[in-house]
Amino acid sequence: MRVGAYRTFWDTPTLQAAERAMHRAVARHKLLAHNLANANTPRFVRLDLPEGEVPPSRIAQRALQAGALPLRTSDPRHVAVPPAAQSVQPLPTPQPTPMRPDGNTIDPEYELAQLATNELRYAMLARIANSQIQGLRTAIREGKVP
C-alpha cells in the first residue's frame, strides 16, 4: 500500500510477491476442485492455469513502468511492450490430456496429486509471508522479544 509518494512499512516486494502467488494458488485450487467435481461429466475438458507466476512480457512491462529499462524493437520477431501495461490475471486454459471413451479428460488421481502440490505451495507461501511479517515486527520492537 502506498500513501502519497511514500511506501508504507508493510509494503515490501517479498510480501507483494507472496500475495500474488497466493492469489494464483487459490485460483488454481478452485480450478482443480472444479475439474475433480466434473470427473464423471461426459465431454468435460480439464482446465488449469498456465505455469509460471509472471510471463516475460509482464516483467518487461513492470520494468518499463519503473523506468528501469528502455525497450525498443529492432527486429519484427521481438516482443513489443504495449504502451499501457495492464494487470492481467492468468486465464484457465484447456489442457491436452488423454481422453476417456466418454470424452472426459479428467484423471482423478492426477487432480488429487495436483491439489496436494498446490496446497503445499500455498503453505510455503504463507510461511514466507509470515516470516517476513515477523521480521518486520522484530524491527519495530528493536529486536526485543515480548
Over residues 4-19, the pLDDT tens digits come to 555 565 677 888 888 8
Q: What is the mean pLDDT of the chain?
A: 76
Mean of the pLDDT values across residues 97-110? 84
User: What's 118's DSSP letter?
Assistant: H
- Distance between CA atoms of residues 125 and 136, nearest Å: 17
pLDDT (average), residues 72-77: 64
Distance (Å, rounded) from C-alpha 17 to C-alpha 75? 32
pLDDT at residue 134 tops 50: yes
Q: Give the gyration radius of the chain's Cα atoms.
A: 21
The cell numbers describing 25, all together, are: 494458488
Task: Write b or e for each residue in 94-105: b if 16 or more Cβ atoms lie within 10 A of its Cβ, otherwise e.
Answer: eeeeeeeeeebb
CA torsion angle 24 25 30 36 (round to 10): 130
Give Dmax over CA atoms of the chain in angstroms: 65
For the stretch 35-69, pLDDT in tens is 999 999 998 888 888 765 444 455 555 555 555 54
